[in-house]
Structure 1
Amino acid sequence: MIKNIKTFLANLSHHPGVYQMLGDKGEVLYVGKAKDLKRRVSSYFGGKSKDPKTLSLVEHIHDINITITHTENEAVLLECNLIKKHRPRYNVLLRDDKSYPYILISHHGYPRIDVYRGARKKNALYFGPYPSSLAVRETISLIQKIFRIRTCRDSYFNARTRPCLLYQIGRCSGPCVKLISEADYAHYVQLAILFLEGKSHQVIEELQCRMETAAHALDYELAGFYRDQITRLRQIQDRQYVNVTHGNADVIGFAMQAGIVCLQLLSIRGGQVLDSRSYFPAVPAYSHTDEIIEAFLTQHYLADASHVESIPRLIVVDAQILEQKLLENVLAEQAGHKVEVLKPSRGEKKKWLAMATLSARQSLSAHIYNKTNLQERVLALQAALNLKNPPRRIECFDISHTMGEATVAACVVFDQNGPVKCDYRRFNIHDIQPGDDIAAMRQALTRRFKRLQKEHALLPDLVLIDGGQAQLAAAKDILADLQIHSLLLVGVSKGPDRKPGFETLHIDGLPPVRWPADAPALHFIQQIRDEAHRFAITGHRQRRDKTRRQSPLERLPGIGAKRRRDLLRYFGGIQGIAHASLDELTKVSGISRSLAERIFAAFHDTTV
């Protein structure tokens, strides 16, 4: 069974996606989809009774691969493709080779729309695949309501002498009896195609223009028809994400944390994700993102002959490749067709890249928090710091502010199983000189350890301080004042340009030291330090944004809720107060001359 499952589950995402359960040799045992990955995967390891198949599966799981998707529908399609590819022995109910349905738009003077399965031919347009026939029929029904495209077979269409019931209920425009011209019908077909391609905003813009034209012509019935079309489109605009990338593409997401890199490769073929793989290359210290991705492209596509045939026409990356043209030419020569390496700035490809990046972060998080990996780092840290026992509890402190504004200190806690998020704490720092990080650290440490002493709570074995000798000295003074002598203090100062791998460690009682960039102990410290930084900056931004949203009245001493309410009612809002004179302010009940002067000064940045 997978080791340290609690830590793995704690770091799972709530996004939709696909999970692959692997055996001891890396073989795929089971592929499943989930609307909520964390909830679904956790259900396998809960206390509820399970059927024999699930019990057997759980006993043989040694690892789990996670792929995040945009939607649950996309997860269904990816699940199907992975099952067809790997044939997992526990996917008993999903082994049929029945293909997923497409939406077909025929080539005809008055094209029809229909459900289609099987090999695609050249005499029609295809959209999909869709996860079920129901999904296709719901989409076709929607297209009928909005665009009134016919669904009848050509033989039925050619035999009509009067419109059918679908025309009567507003789901067809009656092309069989020429109630709409070919040009107008073709226009609606084009709008339907844009809709199926996920370009609803373009359709809405076109319909808005037509609605305004009809309204100016006083044709309010037609304008109302367009209005209803727009309303329906806006209601379902966020549901359509099936056929967004045409042709074939590889999308490569990138994530780096604590000295470890993950590259997530999404293989998109015909508009759907066929496969998703995580790669964890060995990366020299001080490597740039662009350099790492370029090296990966070269080695992945060119070093392995089996990959040459799979080189797509489009490779989407989040990097500016230095030798882009050269790389494209070499890839094209090997593949036998043109290859484009693209860093998108907007649009659908940007969305795919964002999803690949999110999957890379998830995979990297799971990789980092793997128990074997984590225990190795704990033991490495014990050896590097010459500790008698592995540290059972580690706390790390970091300070975050913007030019001294809204200073927040953060404390994160790790044990031998990873982060203990329920013990994380933030401290809003008050009454210090803006930008004084040492004073902020003193305040945070004092509040933290006084509270631990008061509650007789467990003290850490090791405390990491984000900073150098000055911060370390401040921490030593605080702990000495509180008569706490049983823990080790380590300051972590950033390297040149804040690059990971070049940190200087200030260990209490020892001269400063710099560990090798690939040292597991350093990676563990980086991981904890980065988590403290993330937690601190998130709290700082929340506090800063809240402060900036406050009006001067809320920050002014002597102005409580009742006086604020009276001022707002009298002047009709903040703008009225801001433009009021001193005499006008004193007319409000409860506002003295001196208080009016302070209010006036607060809004006009003057000293009265």
Structure 2
Amino acid sequence: MWTNTGARNTHRTLMGRMTRALRKKLSGLPECPGVYLIRDAAGQVIYVGKSRCLRQRVSSYFTGRTDLKGLLIAGQAADVDVVPVATEPEALLLENRLIKAHQPKYNVNLRDGKSYPLVKITTEEFPVLSIVREERQDAARYFGPFTDAQALRRLVAALTRIYPVRQCAWRPGRMRPRPCFRYSIGRCAGPCAGKVSREEYRRIVRGLISLFQGGRTRLIAGLRRRMRQAAGALAFEEAQKMKEQLLLLETLGRELASRPEEVLVAETGNRTSHELSRILSLKRIPWLIEGYDIANLGPALAVGAQVSFRGGVPWKDGYRRYRIRRTQGQNDCAMIAELLTRRFDSEQERKQLPDLILVDGGKGQLGAAVAALGAAGIDVPVVALAKEREEIFLPGRTSPLRLPARSASLQLLQRVRDEAHRFSHTYHVALRRKRAVASFLDSVSGIGAVRKRRILQRFRDIRQIASASPDSLSALGLPEETARQVIAAARTAEHAHAQIR
């Protein structure tokens, strides 16, 4: 009879046999979603698993598992590989593929072809939408996998109200005298009865495919606008239906992976995060990386930006924009220090620390970042990446590190650096445009503080005002002659400020 005492004795034996390299690897695992591959002494993959927290799950095989299967796996484990990913759906997708590729002896559920549900869209003349359990080697498009089959069916039912793609076995060429019941309830465009042209049907299918590929933002914005309009017209039942559709679309966003399956499998091969950890001598795999950049043309309107990458993918919730307020003069190093000081200036901001901080620049920016983090009591590794020669500067190292241009680790750091630069530059340009609009309005007679505020709220930049009609400005409360003067001044200012577009 297997007892907890026997399990504890087995764990002690396993810990005694564990190699120093494996102990070190376990201690450096990240607390993030991902997939892990456990190998035996011959290098054979004996188990593939996924977890929302790699460190806890993998360590449990050697410290906390009491079931026989877990102890058998740990008893044969000689090495562990992990692949951190951005989201749990990515972990699910990658686990599914790796189990079928390696056929590990301790994985049972997914080895025999059984799988999580997928959405399938065929490529025939009038494509069909369906839910399947197996991805075949055909020309169809597959999306998923999804963890909840029932929720997926509800999602597809809601989506066919917006994108009425057929789900029947009708074969093109055999026209029917009248469409099926799904057409009458608005869930099919009715190609079987000639109710929709081939071009229009293809447009509907492209919209659905775009949705599954990540183009949900526009659809969600449209649904929210229509929901508010319905509520304003007291059509509460219709508004409630749209609210339910929005919830399903949010579910779709959580269920789908951020990257295609091919990219995730490639990540398994190149093991970028592991390699970067080794190159930079990090204690942990850098799953969450924050990048910082400064944008300024002198002390006026200086701004800073923070971007975040999780599992090599931009994480928009970790983006921040800062107006530089405390630094006097044009001092990039001091601005970097201000940026990091403000980033960690509250307990709330310290709840989730990154695994690595990257600043755009060289030795000076790195020194300022290290000093600011030290003063804030933040123990996070930091490096700087200079644009000119793509050199990596590390604390305590006199000469910069240079990696080959094809290095996946360097390319990851470049993506973070370039995204931080793009984000800070975009914010800087937006502020300059706004200031340009405000300054040219000061030169137009009849424009006071109230009218200026209305114009700034309605128009994003000078170009929009220059192309506006007098009626659109009159709608803001401007006399017709004043509206014409504003447009004329905007056209003159647009030419003068063309360099900031």
TM-score (norm 1): 0.37
TM-score (norm 2): 0.44
Higher strand residue share: 1
Structure number, greater radius of gyration: 1
